[in-house]
């Protein structure tokens, strides 16, 4: 009984965050350095060019998909959606290896920063509610069988 509660607690604590790497902020910092001479050059009022790096930084920091035992949380630059596992029909893969969540009413929601290589992780976090098409997580919950390597 106690082991079962521990397993349930471990499944509830699982969490996977898929986001744009923070190293992208280095490229944005480089963009700020490149924009500075133009913004403060001979042409007045070009400081508005700083809006582009600021918008890119906000995009990199905010955009993410979080998978938990309860469902998926999709954060975009201007919004947030919670998708419980019960509301999902499945996952769809686009031509560019991006993943979309398909809801029960057949609408599709893009999952930012999630690619096909992340599907086994989503399957583990969802405790099997979303199947892993690669088959990598099929035997994770089962105990490995003992093999006889004695050579007899």
> pLDDT means per 10 residues in the chain (152 residues)?
62 86 97 95 92 97 96 96 94 91 95 92 88 68 48 48
Task: Provide the token pair at 67.
Answer: 């998978």
Work out the number of other CB atoms within 10 angstroms of the CB of residue 99. 21
Cβ proximity of 130 and 71 under 8 Å: no
Write the CB contacts of 151 (distance below 8 Å, at least 6 apart in sequence): none
Please write the tens of the pLDDT for every residue from 103-143: 999 999 999 999 999 999 999 998 888 887 776 666 654 54
Task: Give the pLDDT score at 132.
Answer: 78
């Amino acid at each position: 009984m106690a082991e079962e509660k521990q397993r349930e607690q471990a499944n509830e604590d699982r969490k996977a965050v898929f986001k744009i790497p923070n190293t992208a902020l280095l490229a944005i910092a480089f963009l700020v350095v490149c924009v500075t001479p133009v913004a403060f050059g001979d042409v007045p009022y070009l400081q508005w060019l700083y809006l582009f790096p600021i918008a890119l930084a906000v995009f990199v920091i905010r955009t993410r998909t979080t998978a938990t035992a309860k469902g998926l949380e999709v954060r975009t630059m201007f919004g947030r959606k919670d998708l419980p596992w019960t509301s999902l029909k499945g996952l769809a893969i686009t031509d560019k290896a991006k993943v979309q969540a398909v809801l029960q009413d057949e609408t599709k929601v893009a999952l930012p920063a999630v690619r096909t290589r992340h599907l086994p992780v989503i399957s583990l976090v969802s405790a099997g509610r979303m199947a892993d098409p690669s088959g990598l997580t099929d035997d994770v919950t089962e105990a490995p069988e003992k093999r006889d390597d004695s050579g007899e």
